[in-house]
Structure 1
């Protein structure tokens, strides 16, 4: 039986509109099948919480969200006992908005009877706006969602009005419960944290990738094949707001490819990569910078063995620009996919942060590949690590022992040596007397002949040379750090050309 039930009034929405979360009236399936009569009042599940039903149970809820609706709207669903599968579908209207005004966009996910608390155990899945329906049951779930029993109690469908047109956002949500015995949940098989590798070496990786488990179009198998073709040694799976892909890489790793698990938390004030967290770890995203909650979740990422990396911090899509500051970041993604003006801004802002000395934030680059023609490994972060393991790779990224290259064809080396033969390389420090000469050497292979190499210090670009590299003599009193860039010819006269490679800095310190 299907019923349409308006659950809220326009006045109720405006009254609660200032809250971070608006909770609608609950959906009850009491007396929904085989019992006759109208549905019971909210909260009534029938004797002992059982449905007594053998047929599929369905309810449809409709409503309208006004402009300025809260970030999340919770629709409670009172699930009775004896349910094998829960299925949800939804739709919303997309009227043409006035010029210069965003149209409607409504994301969706679900929390089970354990609740909706931030960082709690109730999370069961998220698909954002990538799907119009999903299901969960003991043995299987739609990609983006976690399989497991459909236990009795109050579940919450989470609607997230990303943007609302001036005309409002009319929506409908249909919940379908299928009675029956619960199927056993398979034990997840997760990727190992170590591969054979080559001992202490430079390892290439792409740590920002999306599959069908969020808004990507590729399967894990397709991504693994593309990673190998791109010459990568490791990848990280980073679906939007869900760890559901972690258990779907079985048979895809090997001695030649390490697969790390992670997540991309897409808050309304920027996106952050939780890289290399323990398999199954979920990172919450339901907060803004004004809520002062990000430091807590940064600590939880590290507690789960991962590192904190703000993604595309100067992207111009709504909600993508990073607003939380970098005090809790272990690295920052300054190059995201094909090089764009957004990336150039990120590089320049990152460079300015190096001038302050003390604690600094290493740079990295990733593809953020979702679908064809996105190229896995364009760009990629090349890390000097003691071995091909999660612990060693994350330590290398955190220390800045890395550079970014557009492909595995490009390699970069940067060293600084003093007159006594002491050397330092990426992420390191060289201390020498103020007047003592130091020599900077940059080597580049794989760049096109029309590319140029650049040495950049706290004063800006101090040397430019051919694509193969260059050498520069300086002192620690002249430059506090030096880093390298490889660029293509400018597409627009007077503006920088696109990056081919970018290094983390070597810091220079004056002795005494």
Structure 2
């Protein structure tokens, strides 16, 4: 059966972004042409979305009683477009009979543009989709026209229902929230990773193996716009590897990691910065025990750059994957905020999707009381961490005053304004011929060349009147002057505050 959506669609304000709702697909009256060879019922919908379409288009599907499997396939045309013009890109997902309300309970899966078909059953589902009951009522195939060519976006959606008794539901198993660890210590992790449960090409087993090979102590699975992979990680955790859960919330105005949330937490993504809705979902992430981490804030892909501001952020992903100019811009923006007194701890993650993406390049090294979800998140939130390109690079950085009191990463040392303070940097695995740099709110105030052998050391003296913070960078040799070399590591800052020395009788 064919339907032309342009004649049957209606504009609906849904509480999420403005959306089209198409005419309802019904299976109430099956005709001969609607039944497949195996007795399944099928319907096909065709239509064209014009340029300027809303972010989401919902296709209602009436599910009768007795459905054991829902299968959806789609395709769309990709006509040639003029140079410099975006062509067609259409995402897809699913909501059940509980509806499409923003932040509601109806979400059943999302694959973006990574798959051309999916199924949902009580006992199983395509990766990215949530298995569970197929209750009678109005379900919704969600179409997301990411970009639309000048000619419009012509699409076809085919819905197939297979009837009969459902298999028993399978209860998901989640990874433990604690691993053996080494007590209070430095732990290495990669908190932005994708698998086949969104647009990655690796299985959770393959990612876990690569994490272990990269010398990581923890990782976080962060699939685009779905929590469906949370139940796929339990068997891959162990005493040597803590696995955190989360989601990469992929909006049209930037991506944010919901990092370390409770198992089964779904965070909605259907809003733009102009709608002033992100604060609500930042609070939901925190209520679920997670951190709000804007990802690759200066990325140049469509919809990737972060435009919601950093007021709701618990940390920010300054370094994403192999070091590139957009990471340098993100680093400069983060440092500028530090100089203004706004400290959002920095992270670095691989964002690895497929070969040859390297898990653990870069990685965040965090000081935590133990290897547990709570302790790792506490360390990240406090900024007790640095970022390194691999497990071969280790950094030790402290500030020490004249009385021998010290402060480490993310901490604050309070001293008289002119009392000497020693910044001490020790680096193992620094690239030969690179640089060790000490950076304050004024800029790079001390530089030394790295030897690439053994431990490189830098000591430098400053005062609280001269520097409000000091942080360290380890750089590769310069390849394109006057730009600095690519980062091999960088730290969160150590802060300095001064107290005026009071004369007797003064207050």
- What TM-score range do you get, normalising by the shorter chain? over 0.9
Q: Deviations 1:420-464 (Å, cap 9, x if unpaired)?
A: 111001000001001111110011001122121000001100000
Deviation at 1:416, TM superposition (A): 0.3
Q: Deviations 1:377-410 (Å, cap 9, x if unpaired)?
A: 0000000000000000000000000000000000
Deviation at 1:118, TM superposition (A): 1.1
Deviation at 1:11, TM superposition (A): 8.9
Aligned to 2:453: none
1:58-73 superposed matches below 5 A: 58-73=42-57
Counterpart contact for 1:276–1:390, Cα < 8 Å = yes
Deviation at 1:251, TM superposition (A): 1.7
Answer yes or no: is 1:29 the counterpart of 2:27.
Answer: yes
Aligned to 1:365: 348
Counterpart contact for 1:103–1:164, Cα < 8 Å = yes
Answer yes or no: is 1:245 the counterpart of 2:218.
Answer: no
Secondary structure of the equivalent of 1:8? Answer: helix
Deviation at 1:7, TM superposition (A): 2.6
Deviation at 1:12, TM superposition (A): 6.1
Q: Deviations 1:221-275 (Å, cap 9, x if unpaired)?
A: 0000000000000000000000111101132110000000000000000000000
Distance 1:436 1:503 in 2: 24
Deviation at 1:19, TM superposition (A): 6.7
Secondary structure of the equivalent of 1:110? Answer: strand
Counterpart contact for 1:261–1:276, Cα < 8 Å = yes
Candidates 176, 190, 193, aligned match of 1:209:
193
Unpaired runs of at least 5, structure 2: 451-455, 501-507
- TM-score normalised per structure 1: 0.94
Counterpart contact for 1:13–1:66, Cα < 8 Å = no
Candidates 140, 152, 155, aligned match of 1:171:
155
Distance 1:319 1:136 in 2: 29
Candidates 470, 473, 493, aligned match of 2:481:
493
Distance 2:476 2:80 in 1: 41
Distance 1:168 1:247 in 2: 39
Secondary structure of the equivalent of 2:300? Answer: coil
Secondary structure of the equivalent of 1:195? Answer: coil
Deviation at 1:26, TM superposition (A): 0.6
Counterpart contact for 2:12–2:18, Cα < 8 Å = no
Aligned to 2:400: 417
Answer yes or no: is 1:336 the counterpart of 2:320.
Answer: yes
Distance 2:475 2:388 in 1: 11
How large is the RMSD of aligned CA atoms in angstroms?
1.9
Counterpart contact for 1:33–1:57, Cα < 8 Å = no
1:24-173 superposed matches below 5 A: 24-32=22-30, 55-173=39-157
Aligned to 2:362: 379
Deviation at 1:13, TM superposition (A): 7.4
1:264-343 superposed matches below 5 A: 264-343=248-327
Change (3 A) 1:198 1:179: same
Deviation at 1:55, TM superposition (A): 2.4
Deviation at 1:376, TM superposition (A): 0.1
Distance 1:19 1:395 in 2: 34
Distance 2:333 2:211 in 1: 30
Aligned length: 493
Q: Deviations 1:177-199 (Å, cap 9, x if unpaired)?
A: 00011111111100010001000
Aligned to 2:437: 454
Q: Deviations 1:171-217 (Å, cap 9, x if unpaired)?
A: 00000000011111111100010001000000000000000000000
Answer yes or no: is 1:400 the counterpart of 2:388.
Answer: no
Return structure 1 stretches of 4+ with deviation > 3 angstroms: 10-16
Secondary structure of the equivalent of 2:426? Answer: strand
Deviation at 1:6, TM superposition (A): 1.5
Counterpart contact for 2:431–2:488, Cα < 8 Å = no
Counterpart contact for 1:191–1:253, Cα < 8 Å = yes
Counterpart contact for 1:335–1:343, Cα < 8 Å = yes
Change (3 A) 1:114 1:397: same
Counterpart contact for 2:366–2:376, Cα < 8 Å = yes
